[in-house]
Amino acid sequence: MFPISVRRQFSVLSHLRIDARWFYAVDVPISKPEQFKYTQTKPPQKFLPFSDSDNSLLEESFKDGDKTVLQVLEDRLFNCDIKSMQLYPIYWQGPVYEVRRGIWFSNGTPIDQRLGELIEKQYQALKDKLGKEEGQVVFELDDKTLELSPITKSEDLTTTIAETFSSSESQSPKKLVLFKDEKTVFILPKSSKLMIQMLNPLTDELKKSIFSDYKIERGYKAKDKEKALAEKGSSSAFGDFSFINFFTDTAIDKNAKSDKAEEKMEYHMKNDFAKEDKDTKRDINHIVLCCHGIGQSLGTKLESVNFIHDINIFRKGLATALKEDSELQEMSPSANNHGIQVLPVIWRYNLGFSIDEPISVEDQNDGVKTLPSVSDITVDALRPLRNLLGNVVLDVLLYYDSWYKKRILSSVVQQCNDVYDKFLLNNPGWNGKVSLVGHSLGSAIFFDILCKQPDNLNFEDPNFDHKRYLKFKVENYFALGSPLGVFSLLKRQNIAPRSKENSVSVNDIDKEVLDRPCVGPKCENLYNIFHPCDSIGYRVEPLIRSEFTKFKPSPVPFANKSGFDSQLKEITDFGDEFGDKLTNNISKLFGNKSIGELLLLDSKKPETEKNLPNSPKESTKKSSSSKSTTVDISAESLKVIRQLNYSGRVDYCLSEGLFDISIINAIKAHTTYFENKDLTAFVLRELLSPKSKARLVSKSAVLMTPGEDDNEWL
């Protein structure tokens, strides 16, 4: 109704002593990144109060006028510009939300900023008169000019009321502003004859209950704050995402105008970033940058596809893992703060390729020519499904087109460096560690970036190419649900630690480096983590040393030893009559698979063990609890793989749930890594643990055995 000027000057009320309360919108943003093609069509209706600490910071800066942009919300991830009254993320592209400095409230919600300042200015001039018999004052409000014209005579009031409610829609609508007392004002629009009668000075006292929707009150009440915080997280807008929704055209909401889209945005803002009053700025000593995989272009059409939200879940999961694990607390700098900040890197929005837009190419003879869009060449039959595949699978094809691959690598490197620079700017003197997490195709992107990173790179060089190389050392690299193994296999490429044979310099050509028969990522520790049901995740250890082909991946331990899965493990290990009966019953239910096999706990039936070949060169060890067969890893293989990961292993497998059936769970397994508690606790443990390559963790591995393949499940 009253647009906010981006460059307007400070309020004339900044010098007044007012107990103001600051709010930010959570449902309808002012703007979104260009790729969303979003236009605001209505003002926001739902606002959330800033925490007490943020509120004090904003109010103090507002009055002093020294600083106009402040870091707010959880972990100070957002900037609040008190000059433009806007809230926006610092480290990634995202929606911009309206901010209000609330003085006058309607049902606990601050009214429009400019209108509120206008009412407050008039209130300051009238406050000595209000509350007295002659204190009721009525003004005429013009929405366009935002001017208040006093009405002093009853005749003028009657005339103005008649004009107001008889004005045509084409004329500027007028409202009546009634200052009732020291805390109450009524803003009355065009309405019924009853309202006219109630406003007549000759009628009985105005009944507040009748006009509650038109009443505004001065000051923020404690009960309103409690109500707002109680509603935080109550929305049911966010739920399990169903790929079935993709198959209907109604699921694609290009402008995010639907109520469901707004509810999801509201849910994310309330639950992902709202800061508790007791929260303070955390000390950060480790940054983790996360790169998304395929299908993120759907995020411009579906609020359900939201990598920012995935990373927020991951960030909160790290905090939860620390809270629930005393061992992690001992490793952490503080029992309440692990010192790790997780930030997203989104490359798809900047790629400039959409299935709905024509492709422009330069031709030496014809100049710039236009090719049809993917939608133009899409067959009409099953178009929604084809559009889905186009938005998702096309990302892989783009990455393996040399022109687009170069752009993607450059975009990701530049964004990582930009995030790093912004963090240094907001944290002067910071000298911590940086790790990377890549999911799906994002893992292959990060891997290629690390493989072409030179060995002796001078980050302080004035000619440093920030679009080509990372400007920081990478401590750990976690690949989640990664197709890296099969990509490398198709390229006939091995993976090895950095050495003189596969060293990289700034003079090398990136494409030639990435096409070498053997490549090595420039990082201290490499982790390849996958879920057994994830059909996109592949192993990489056999590409490092062929000996690891016969070894199982290292299991990711359970996050909570008292959890349901751990109880099942204890039952299978216990081996009593009850455990045997439970094992037999569940084995029948799941096609004669044992619980140990289902949970990847390396349990094998006795008859399977009898068929294992015994090699005199292998030092065989049989665990009494899991009945699995382990062998020593050769010294030569250990020497190689320990240069890629201090633990002596690179492949790590998450535990399969008891009721996870591969063919059904495949899609979910690939899309829920950041929600997995076992993975979150494992990553936190590895980030916090003191890593020493002189200390070997894994000297042996569990053998793969006949019948290990899960094809019989399909």
Whether residue 120 sits in one domain with residue 85:
no
Pairing between β-strand 494-495 and β-strand 518-519 as defined by DSSP bridges: parallel
What are 406's two structure tokens?
A: 């170069």
Q: What is the pLDDT of residue 259?
A: 57
| Both structure tokens of 709 | 């393949």
pLDDT tops 80 at residue 289: yes
Report which residue type is found at 318: L
Same structural domain for residues 6 and 146? Answer: no
pLDDT per position as a tens digit, 138-190? 788 877 777 777 776 554 555 555 554 444 433 446 777 888 788 888 887 65
> What whole-number percentage of the chain has pLDDT above 90?
40
Rounded Cα–Cα distance for residues 561 and 572 (Å): 15
Task: Kindly give the interhelix angle for 564-574 and 577-589, rounded to the nearest 10 degrees.
Answer: 120
Q: Return the SS3 of 438.
A: strand
Question: Cα–Cα distance between 526 and 543 in angstroms, integer?
Answer: 13
Q: State residue 177's pLDDT score.
A: 84
At residue 415, the pLDDT reads: 95
Cα–Cα separations (whole angstroms), residue 335 to 287, 339, 341, 660: 19, 10, 16, 34
Q: Interhelix angle for 307-324 vs 677-688, to 10°?
A: 70
pLDDT at 362 (0 to 100): 66
606 in a structural domain: no
pLDDT at residue number 224: 67
Same structural domain for residues 523 and 576? yes
Domain match, 43 and 128 both = no
* 142 and 91 within one domain: no
Residue 314 forms part of a structural domain? no
Tell me: do 8 and 148 sit in the same domain.
no
From the list 623, 634, 602, 618, the residue with the least C-alpha distance to 705 is 602
Burial class (CB in 10 A: 0-12, 13-18, 19+), 324: middle
pLDDT higher than 50, residue 354: yes
253 in any annotated domain = no
Domain boundary among the residues 61, 78, 103 is at: 103
- Each residue's pLDDT tens digit, 238-267: 333 333 343 334 344 444 445 566 676 677
pLDDT value at residue 612: 37
The segment with the largest mean pLDDT, out of 295-299, 418-422, 624-628, is 418-422
**Looking up tokens 């005393």, which residue turns up?**
326
Cβ atoms of 439 and 296 closer than 8 Å: no
- Kindly tell me if the per-residue pLDDT of 214 is higher than 70: yes
pLDDT (tens digit per residue) in 621-644: 444 444 568 888 888 999 999 999
Give the pLDDT band (50/70/90) at residue 669.
confident
Retrieve residue 85's tokens.
Answer: 């009254």
Which residues neighbour 44 within 8 Å (Cβ) at sequence distance 6 or greater? 25, 26, 27, 28, 29, 97, 98
- 116 CB-near residues (< 8 Å, 6+ apart): 100, 101, 102, 103, 104, 110
> How far is Cα 37 from Cα 56, in angstroms, rounded to an integer?
36
**pLDDT tens, 262-283?**
676 677 677 777 766 666 678 9
**Range in 210-214, 426-430, 461-465 the model is least confident about:** 210-214
pLDDT at residue 452 is higher than 50: yes
In 206-292, where does DSSP find H-type helix? 222-231, 259-268
What tokens were used for 277?
């009053």
Decide if 476 contacts 500 (C-beta within 8 A): no
Residue among 423, 433, 420 at smallest CA distance from 333: 433
User: Which residue type, as a one-letter code, is found at position 441?
Assistant: L
- Residue 659: CB partners within 8 Å, gap ≥ 6? none
Q: How far is CA 469 from CA 178, 308, 343, 409, in A?
A: 64, 24, 19, 10
φ and ψ at residue 566, rounded to 5 degrees: -65, -35
CATH at residue 34: 3.30.720
Give the pLDDT band (50/70/90) at residue 710: very low
With 90 as the cut, is the pLDDT of residue 513 above it? Answer: yes
> Do 113 and 83 share a structural domain?
no
Give me the pLDDT at residue 705, please: 64
Residue 564 and residue 428 share a domain: yes
Q: Place 484 in a pLDDT band, splitting at 50, 70 and 90.
A: very high
Which residues partner with 368 through β-bridges? Answer: 362
Residue 607 domain-assigned? no
Q: Which domain holds residue 683?
A: 400-595+636-692
| Residue 299 belongs to some domain of the structure | no
User: Is 320 part of a structural domain of the chain?
Assistant: no
pLDDT at 55 over 90: yes
State the chain's mean pLDDT as an integer. 76
Is residue 505 one of the residues assigned to a domain?
yes
Tell me which of 183, 218, 253 is where a domain ends.
218
Residue type, 149: S
Question: For residue 334, what are the β-bridge partners?
Answer: 337
Q: What is the pLDDT of residues 7-26, one digit of tens each?
A: 344 444 444 456 799 999 99
> Helix or strand or coil: residue 370?
strand
Q: For residue 69, what are its two tokens?
A: 């942009």
Strand pairing report for 518-519 and 525-530: unpaired
- Amino acid code (one letter) for 254: K
- In this structure, are strands 494-495 and 367-371 parallel, antiparallel, or unpaired? unpaired
The per-residue pLDDT for 713 is 37
From CA 242, how far away is CA 261, in angstroms rounded? 15
Closest to 139 measured CA to CA, from 195, 193, 201, 185: 185
Q: Are residues 69 and 117 in the same domain?
A: no
3-state DSSP assignment of residue 386: helix
Asked if the model's pLDDT at residue 448 lies above 70, the reply is yes
The pLDDT of residue 83: 93
Question: Which residues are CB-neighbours of 642 under 8 A, at least 6 positions away?
Answer: 648, 693, 696
Exposed, middle or buried: residue 388 (CB in 10 Å: 0-12, 13-18, 19+)? buried
359 compared with 490, residue with greater pLDDT: 490
Among 43-52, 238-247, 536-545, 668-677, name the one with the lowest average pLDDT: 238-247
| Confidence band, pLDDT 50/70/90 cuts, at residue 291 | very high
3-state secondary structure of 89: strand
- pLDDT at site 567: 44
Question: Pick from 200, 218, 236: which residue ends a domain?
Answer: 218
Give me Rg for the CA atoms of the chain: 31
Q: Domain tally for the chain?
A: 3
For residue 78, what pLDDT band results from cuts at 50, 70 and 90? very high
Q: How far apart are alpha carbons 271 and 282 in whole angstroms?
A: 19
Q: Residue length, the chain? A: 714
Return the higher-pLDDT residue of 590 and 242. 590
- Distance, CA of 391 to CA of 268 (rounded, Å): 23
Which region among 283-292, 532-541, 600-609 has the lowest average model confidence (pLDDT)?
Answer: 600-609
| 380 lies in some domain | no
Q: How far is CA 47 from CA 270, 271, 446, 502, 541, in A?
A: 9, 13, 38, 56, 51
Q: Residue 618 carries which DSSP code?
A: S
Q: Give the mean model confidence (pLDDT) for residues 102-110.
A: 91
Q: Note the pLDDT of residue 150.
A: 77
- Residue 50's nearest CA partner among 345, 279, 256, 259 is 279
359 forms bridges with which residues in the sheet? 371
The beta-strand segments (E) located in 21-84 are: 21-25, 47-49, 69-72, 78-81
Sign of the CA dihedral with 553 first, then 559, 561, and 562 last: negative
pTM above threshold 0.85: no
Q: What is the mean pLDDT of residues 664-686?
A: 88
Do residues 523 and 497 share a domain?
A: yes
The verdict on 127 and 77 lying in the same domain is: no
Non-local CB neighbours of 327 within 8 Å, separated by 6+ positions: none
Cβ atoms of residues 29 and 82 within 8 Å: no
| Nearest of 416, 557, 514 to residue 473 by alpha carbon | 416
8 and 122, same domain (yes or no): no
Residue linked to tokens 């535990």: 655
- Residues 230, 227: Cα–Cα separation, whole Å: 5
